[in-house]
Amino acid sequence: MRRARFALLAGGLVAVWSSTAVFASPSPVAASASLCARHAVEAAQRSQLAAETILRVMHVESRGRPDARSHKGAMGCMQIMPATWRYLTGKHGLGADPWDPRMNMIGGALYLAELARQFGFPGAYSAYNAGPARYARHVATGAPLPRETQLYTASLTRAPHAPRSPSAAASRQPRARWQEATLFMAGRGRGVNASTERAAEVAASAAGISLFPLAKASEPSTGNSEK
C-alpha cells in the first residue's frame, strides 16, 4: 500500500524546479528527491538547524529517496531506525508513519539538532550515523569509530559551509518567508507553496547539492543506531 501511494505521488508531482519546458515531467528519481527536499525549510524551522545542513544529511543518507530502506532497517529520507523513530514520535508527536517524507525530514532534523546540542558539530554527524551511545564511548575512551562513520562524517564536514556549532548552523538558515507558507498557516493542511520550494532549492544550492537530477543512490546509510 505504501509503495503504491508513493508511486502515485511521484507520478503526479509537478516539476516546480525543473529548468526544462513547462510541460516536461520530472524523472522518477528527481520526483522522489523533491518529496524529501521540499520539507527541508519546515524541518529547519522546527529544529533551528540550517536547511542546507539538513539537506546535506538527507543527501548522504538516502539521496532524497523517501522509500529508501537500509539493510539494517533505517527508513526514509533521513534514514531513521525504528527504535529512533519510536523515541522521536513519542517526544515530538510525529505520528505513526515513519515513511511520511514530511515527518521523516522533521524527525531526522530534530534528532540531529538534539545530537548537536549534546556533542556539537561535527560530533553530531558521527552520533547520527553510529548512534549517540557509541559516539559517547568514543569521546570518553578513545575507542575508534567504525570506518563507515569516519567516512560519513568526513563527507559532511568537507561540504561547503559545514556547521561547527548549532548556533552557527542556525544563523545560516535561509530567510524564506516561511510564515506565509501554507505549511505554517493554521487550517491550511500540509501543502508546500512555491516560495517554500524555492527556499529549499536555494538551500540545496548552498549545500552544494543538485536536486535535479540526482545520481542513482547506493546502499542507504544505516543511520542513528548502535551497530
Domain-by-domain residue ranges, the chain? Answer: 2-206
In whole numbers, what is the pLDDT of the chain averaged over residues? Answer: 73
Residue of 99, 59, 6 lying closest to 89 (CA atoms): 99
DSSP letter for each residue of 4-66: HHHHHHHHH---TT--S-TTPPPPHHHHHHHHHHTTHHHHHHHHTS-HHHHHHHHHHHHTT-T
- Listed range (39-43, 70-74, 142-146, 161-165) with the worst mean pLDDT: 161-165
Residue with grid cell 548552523, as numbered in its chain: 169
The model's confidence at residue 57, banded by pLDDT at 50, 70 and 90, is: very high
CB 133, CB 115: distance < 8 Å:
no
Instruction: Name the pTM for this structure.
Output: 0.67
The model's confidence at residue 222, banded by pLDDT at 50, 70 and 90, is: low
Cα 125 to Cα 136: distance, rounded to the nearest angstrom: 13
Q: Is the pLDDT of residue 112 over 90?
A: yes
φ, ψ for residue 6, nearest 5 deg: -60, -45
Q: What is the pLDDT of residue 147?
A: 98
**Amino acid letter, 177:** R
CATH topology of domain 2-206: Lysozyme (1.10.530)
Residue 87 Cα distances to 51, 61, 104, angstroms: 23, 19, 13
The model's confidence at residue 158, banded by pLDDT at 50, 70 and 90, is: confident
Q: What is the pLDDT of residue 34?
A: 80
Q: What is the pLDDT of residue 159?
A: 61
